[in-house]
Amino acid sequence: MNKFLEYLKTNTFRKNLIIAIVSVTAFLIIIFFSLRFYTRHGEGVPVPKLKGLPVEQAIELLESQGLRYQIDSVYQMDKAPGLVVEQDPDPNTNVKMNRTIYLTIITSSAPDVGFPDIFAMSYLEARAVLSNYGIKISDTTYASDIVRDRVLTATFNGHNVKKGDQIPKGSTISLVLGDGKGASEVDLPDVVGLSLPEAIFSLKGSSLETGSIFYEGTITDSTTAKVIKQYPAVSDSLSKVPIGTHVDLILSNDALVK
């Protein structure tokens, strides 16, 4: 132990220590500069701003700077096809030559979406659902229905569409909504030949009212009398009447007169 301590105090040890430190330092410096040369540290080109450019112009710009590219596509109905909407890396990022730049462009072909189940929804509910599916509403019309603004039918390119039908995203459809008034007209029943209770029941079932009741001829038994005429009468020119219309009845025990 004493000999080792004495050796540490000698000039030989100090010289060997200095040589070792210088050698390690020189080795590290050589490695550092070698790596800088190998990786071309600090050399490269800034990525140009490509977002908002047509894809052809973006590709031409990348190729002129020695950069490669890879393209993905998305569909957006409010953007022009072929437009660059995203890029990676961001503009002005310093990259090496031959670096791949990733571009996202707008495609011209819209993907199909399954038509959602909007029937019986209110107009506001249906509009929100359709918006989530990328479907627009062009116009609306109204038809008889007891619920106001309830979706009754939907049409695309003149054809009715139902739940699950495939239509292009971004399509425009038309809706038929309920007017909240119910049916304004009903079929006029033909009650000729029925007894009075039967005729009244038939008229009520059609949301019509029994008007005036008349008897014709000799009435031997009013309970067996039959309707021989009604006003208004069913004809080729009259088959529907407004709800609540009063229908007058003429009854008789005699043979039917039509």
pTM: 0.43
Of the candidates 237, 250, 253, the one whose C-alpha atom is nearest the C-alpha of residue 192 is 250
Q: What is the pLDDT of residue 117?
A: 94
Q: What is the pLDDT of residue 258?
A: 44
Exposure of 94 in the CB half-sphere (CA atoms within 13 A):
5
Confidence of residue 4 (pLDDT cuts 50, 70, 90): low
Q: Which of 29-38, 62-71, 141-150, 183-192 has the highest mean pLDDT?
A: 62-71
* pLDDT tens per residue, range 96-140: 888 999 999 988 777 889 999 999 899 999 999 999 998 999 999
Q: What is the pLDDT of residue 257?
A: 47
Tokens of residue 116, six digits: 């959602």
Percentage of the chain lying above the pLDDT 70 cut: 89
Instruction: Name the one residue in this structure whose structure tokens are 């080792």.
Output: 4
Q: What is the dihedral of CA 106, 108, 114, 115, to 10 degrees?
A: 100
Instruction: Calculate mean pLDDT across residues 152-168.
Output: 93
Confidence of residue 37 (pLDDT cuts 50, 70, 90): low
Q: What is the mean pLDDT of the chain?
A: 85
Please check the confidence at residue 1 and state whether its pLDDT lies above 70. Answer: no
Q: What is the pLDDT of residue 43?
A: 60
Q: Which long-range contacts (CB under 8 A, 24 or more apart) does 89-95 make?
A: 89/47, 90/47, 91/46, 91/47, 91/48, 91/49, 91/50, 91/51, 92/46, 92/47, 92/49, 93/46, 93/47, 94/44, 94/45, 94/46, 94/47, 95/44, 95/45, 95/46, 95/47, 95/67
